[in-house]
Amino acid sequence: MKSQFRHVALIGKFQAHGSRSALEDIAHFLGTQGCDVAIEQDTASNTGLTQFPTLDAAGIGAQCDLALVVGGDGTMLGIGRLLAQFGVPMVGINQGRLGFITDIAFEDYQDTLKPMLRGEFEEDRRWMMQAKVVRDGHCVFSATAMNDVVVNRGATAGMVELRVEVDGRFVANQRADGLIIASPTGSTAYALSAGGPLLHPSIAGWLLVPIAPHTLSNRPIVLSDTGEIAIEIVAGRDASANFDMQSLASLLHGDRITVRRSAHQMRFLHPKGWSYFDTLRKKLHWNEGAG
């Protein structure tokens, strides 16, 4: 059967060893399945794959009906934030480490992709976060995030004091090393190592997870993702805000970081029969040693 996807963009983690040959192999495979292949602009320039047409994110959004991402979750998040506004679905082939959202093993990609290209897949939509830093009433920084928005203390400073509000209502002043606002996707990232719970991606919620809180009764809380979370810097030097750990804003006292649900979703495609629990078992090594 002919591929359901006519024009496929290929995005790669070009820093990885052997990435050029892997991308070239996948591109030729896609051609055998009847797909026109384009290479994302930065991927092409960094790997020297010049025998295929190249497109930037806007070009992929306008011309392609599938993005195939080869790398780890960071690679997927980076391109996903750019493509979400265009509604382009993405498939992840894992060349990273954990791979919670790049879930196809590279050695299995041909057998796995063939039925997916024919339309046999599970679609998984994930809401993104829209965040901004407000200083003296003016927005001085804005970013989207898929995993988390993290407010951190300075590298050489003590803890920060943060005023937390939800939908304009005061929650608490927290003294801690920082605070994480995580999506269900981000619940398996930094929030997990800070003691937060796992949140199934079908739940329309966010996690608010303190990092090393001064008061041990400050516990993680699950909130609806339909409202607004605001964090104000009350005290502490050299604080910063990270967005998916891929963009950074330096913060001053009185700055407010506000987080709302983005207007856009990332669209992930998984092999037929995919289960979130299969991913957790595999990536978190559950049931290891069970007889």
Q: For the chain, give the number of residues.
A: 291
Q: pLDDT (tens digit, 9 = 90+) per residue, 11-20?
A: 997 666 668 8
189 in a known ligand binding site: yes
Instruction: Give domain 129-263's CATH superfamily.
Output: Probable inorganic polyphosphate/atp-NAD kinase; domain 2 (2.60.200.30)
Catalytic residue list contains 73? yes
In degrees, rounded to 5, the angle at the alpha carbon of residue 278 between the alpha carbons of residues 274 and 282 is: 130
Residue-level pLDDT at 40: 96
242 in a known ligand binding site: no
Q: Which of 56, 73, 244, 255 is catalytic?
A: 73
Q: Is the model more confident about 153 or about 155?
A: 153
193 in a known ligand binding site: yes
pLDDT above 50: residue 291: no
Q: pLDDT (tens digit, 9 = 90+) per residue, 221-280?
A: 999 999 999 999 999 989 999 999 988 999 999 999 999 999 999 999 999 999 999 889
pLDDT above 70: residue 289: no
Query: pLDDT class for 151, splitting at 50, 70, 90?
Result: very high
131 in a known ligand binding site: no
246 in a known ligand binding site: yes
pLDDT above 60: residue 290: no
pLDDT above 50: residue 58: yes
Q: pLDDT (tens digit, 9 = 90+) per residue, 169-210?
A: 999 999 999 999 999 999 999 999 999 999 999 999 999 999
> Between the CA of residue 243 and those of 12, 78, 254, what are the distances in Å?
21, 11, 19
Single out the residue of 80, 98, 97 nearest to residue 89, CA to CA. Answer: 80
Q: What is the mean pLDDT of residues 99-118?
A: 92
Per-domain boundaries in the chain: 7-119, 129-263
Which fold does the domain 7-119 belong to in CATH? Answer: Rossmann fold (3.40.50)
CA distance 95 to 88: 21
Query: pLDDT class for 50, splitting at 50, 70, 90?
Result: confident
CA distance 171 to 161: 13
45 in a known ligand binding site: no
217 in a known ligand binding site: no
Query: pLDDT class for 128, splitting at 50, 70, 90?
Result: very high
